[in-house]
Amino acid sequence: MRPFKYTRATTLPSAIKELSGNAQSRILAGGTNLLDLMKEDVERPEALIDITHLPHSAVKSLSQGAAKSGVLLDALGKNSETANHLLIRSQYPMLSQAILAGASAQIRNMATNGGNLLQRTRCPYFYDVAMPCNKRTPGSGCGALEGFNRMHAVFGWSDKCIAVHPSDMAVALAALDAKVLAQNEAGQQRRLTFDEFFRLPGDAPEKDNNLQHGDLITGIELPASNFADHSYYAKVRDRSSYAFALVSVAAGLQLNGKQISDVRVAMGGVAHKPWRALTAEKMLKGKEATEANFKAAAKAEMAAAKPHEYNKFKIELGERAIALALTNALNYGS
Amino acid sequence: MSEENQNPDLTDDEKRLFADLMPEDLKEIMDSGFNRRHFLKLMSIGGASVLAANLLGAEQVLARPLATEQAAATAAIENGVKLSFNINGASRSLTVDSRMTLLDTVRERLQLTGSKKGCDHGQCGACTVIIDGQRVLSCLTLAATCEGKKVTTIEGLANNNQLHPMQEAFIKHDGFQCGYCTPGQICSAVALLGEAKKGDASYVTSNIKQTGSAQQLSEDEIRERMSGNICRCGAYPNIVAAIMEVHSGKPVDQHFNFAG
């Protein structure tokens, strides 16, 4: 690991000021991804600003009185405390499941909510500094495009990058219409939808998201959810635990009798960002909640997929995973 | 150290020879008292090959923990961070390189070599320790971030000669073969008991919305919750049995199945 200067931040503004003062500085929170990348010589920060000692609360209810108006996840809340918070387990069970589907118990105890969104792709060509990678070294090419691309994207990729976002938590957050709160040196607060926050690789895959250097994520806001009764996070992977998703699906149904009055479907392991399955959602809204309708919507969603040499299986797998997640959401807890 | 330290420094020529052989370590050798007399003795006995062999010994000496904090302060530590934390009930203060992981700190500086370095990338769980009641990976934790924290390693679980029940259960159920992953497995399992008592859920919990009560874990639950600890010998059935016995408080039979 290359030498770096370590600073223990005592306040949020001082952390942001320190971050803004050096383009080669990075925020250290859980460190589970950043330290690994530093050991691999992929990340080479000159300075780390440790924010783990700043006070934080895991989850805060935004409700006033009887009106349900969502929750705020503190950026520094640990993944494990967020997943096990009673508000999240009872009102956003899909989010608890998604967090608990990711990584291991040890890593979830370390990793923060903000850091989870900012983790980098696990594309092996990104990790291996001997390989070309436009995300790591812009202009060097993409090793995965013609390489071993079994884990890679089938939606929204460009010829510059076919990497996928590795987070499970972010897939559920996308389905739940979460917003990312970020603060900069001037003290300005921004509230970004997931569409505004994440981006597709396009011609600049080195940028995972639309934050600027000096922006710090302070929280994640979730609107009140109508999906607590019928939701599920399905994850398909090479091992039954502790592996990144080949395909994952967060599904939520709001039912009026048998009719679907509202529906959310988001996918992981298929794109540079958590992928909202808008085609499937549109097809299902107003329809009856039946397995046949789930399958038809899943097929329509995956029809737009563009696979690579080694990940053609993700099309059928995606269809089955969407149908499975919706079926389990329908029957969950009953 | 002894009278050898009072000898004069190496000559410039001798330093150059050292620098050629071990450029990285010259400064440390100079600081450590590997001195002229020792150097000349080596050269007179049998030339450079003997010197090289003895340098290996010297390097091992240098790799030992610094004996006192005074020694730590005098050694040049780049980007040094002062750190005080509690390890297995004892307060320790030391200065660490900012890059130093907690794992390297407990192993190389505090002589607690129970925690193991398996992959050093957070994939195997051999380095698992407990910080403030939470199981974490010490290979992905910078020591500098542990200021004021309470760290428990495998060495801190027993009460004098009385092993922790989880340690006893691992022995009873033969929950290891080579033993390299065992300290991490046991630390992880001890923290798992606390999580289950709090009612924490896992991905295989049947209804995540049911909250509030202590979890009676199934074998599937234990396997899922222990998935961050890899055992290359494949002692998993015995590890699960050991954890189940401590978790349930009832004796657990060992059962074996031949692969179909």
The answer to whether B150 and B84 are in contact (CB under 8 A) is: no
Q: Looking at the complex, does the CB of residue B201 fall below 8 Å from at least one CB of chain A?
A: yes
Is the separation of the CB atoms in B165 and B248 below 8 Å?
no
Beta-carbon separation of B134 and A80 below 8 A: yes
pLDDT at B253: 87
User: Is the ipTM reported for this complex over the cut 0.90?
Assistant: yes
In angstroms, the CA B207 to CA B209 distance is: 5
Q: Are B69 and B92 in contact (CB under 8 A)?
A: no
Instruction: Answer whether residue B24 shows pLDDT above 60.
Output: no
Enumerate the residues of chain A whose CB falls inside 8 A of the CB of residue B191.
105
**Selection from A194, A220, A208 nearest residue A76 by Cα:** A220
pLDDT of residue B75: 61
Q: How far is CA A136 from CA A24, A140, A274, in A?
A: 15, 9, 20
The conformation of residue A212, written as its DSSP 8-state character, comes to P
B185 neighbourhood in chain A, CB within 8 Å: none
Name the nearest CA neighbour of B113 among B204, B35, B207, B179.
Answer: B179
Q: Which residue of A has its CA nearest to B132?
A: A109
In a mutational test of the A interface, the residue from B208, B217, B220, B236 whose CB has the highest number of chain A CBs within 10 Å is: B208
Residue type, A304: A
State whether residue B13 sits within 8 Å of chain A by CB: no
Task: Report pLDDT for B57.
Answer: 44
HEC string of A114-163 equals HHHHHCCCCCHHHHCCCCCECCCCCCCCECCCCCCCCCCCCCCCECCECC
What per-residue confidence (pLDDT) applies to B53?
A: 44
Task: Report how far residue A39's alpha carbon sits from residue A29's, in angstroms, rounded to the nearest whole number.
Answer: 16
Could you tell me the maximum CA-CA distance found in chain B, to the nearest angstrom? 77
Kindly state the greatest CA–CA separation across chain A.
Answer: 61
Strands B80-87 and A275-276 turn out to be unpaired
CB B229 within 8 A of CB B243: no
Query: 3-state class of B70 per DSSP?
Result: helix
- Is the CATH number of domain A231-331 1.10.1060.10? no
- Residue B46 pLDDT exceeds 60: no
- Confirm or reject contact between A5 and chain B (CB < 8 A): yes
Q: Please report, for chain A, the start and end positions of each structural domain, with discontinuous segments joined by +.
A: 5-50, 60-118+165-222, 231-331
Domain B157-260: CATH class, spelled out: mainly alpha
Closest chain B residue to A53, measured at CA:
B145
Cβ partners under 8 Å of residue B12, min gap 6:
none
Residue in A53, A106, A242 nearest the CB of B136:
A106
Say if A104 is an interface residue toward chain B (CB within 8 Å). Answer: yes
Would you give the distance in Å from CA A278 to the centre of its chain? 17
Topology (CATH level 3) of domain A60-118+165-222: 3.30.465
Amino acid B59: pLDDT = 44
Quote the pTM value.
Answer: 0.87
* Residue A100 contacts B, CB cutoff 8 Å: yes
Give which of A274, A284, A276 is closest to A327, Cα–Cα. Answer: A284
A6·B98 Cβ contact <8 A = yes
- pLDDT, residue B18, reads 56
Q: List average pLDDT for each run of 10 residues in chain A, which is 334 residues long.
A: 97 97 98 98 98 92 78 97 96 97 98 98 98 98 98 98 98 98 96 98 98 97 96 97 98 97 98 98 98 98 98 98 98 81
How far is A269 from A222, CA to CA, in rounded Å?
A: 22
Reply yes or no on whether the pLDDT at B1 is more than 60.
no
Contacts of A93 in chain B (CB under 8 A): 208-209
User: What is residue B258's predicted lDDT score, i.e. its pLDDT?
Assistant: 77
Query: Which of B103, B139, B145 best tests the A interface by mutation, with the highest count of A CBs <10 A?
Result: B145
User: B38 pLDDT exceeds 60?
Assistant: no
Residue B88, phi-psi category: left (phi > 0), alpha (psi -120 to 50), beta (remainder) = left
State chain B's mean pLDDT as an integer.
82
Cβ-nearest to A84 among B201, B203, B227 = B201
Interface membership of B105 toward A (CB under 8 Å): no
pLDDT digits (tens, 9 = 90+) for B75-127: 678 899 999 999 999 999 999 999 999 999 999 999 999 999 999 999 999 99
Q: What is the fold of A5-50?
A: 3.30.43
For chain B, the domains span 10-64, 157-260
- Chain A residue numbers with beta carbons less than 8 Å from the beta carbon of B202 are 100, 105
Q: Give residue B212's pLDDT.
A: 75
Residues of B in contact with A242 (CB under 8 A): 227-228
> CB contact, 8 Å: A50 with chain B?
yes
Separation between Cα atoms, residue A276 and residue A282, nearest integer Å: 11
Q: Does B202 contact A at CB distance below 8 Å? A: yes
Residue B164 contacts A where some CB pair is shorter than 8 Å:
no
Contact B122 A86 (CB under 8 A): no
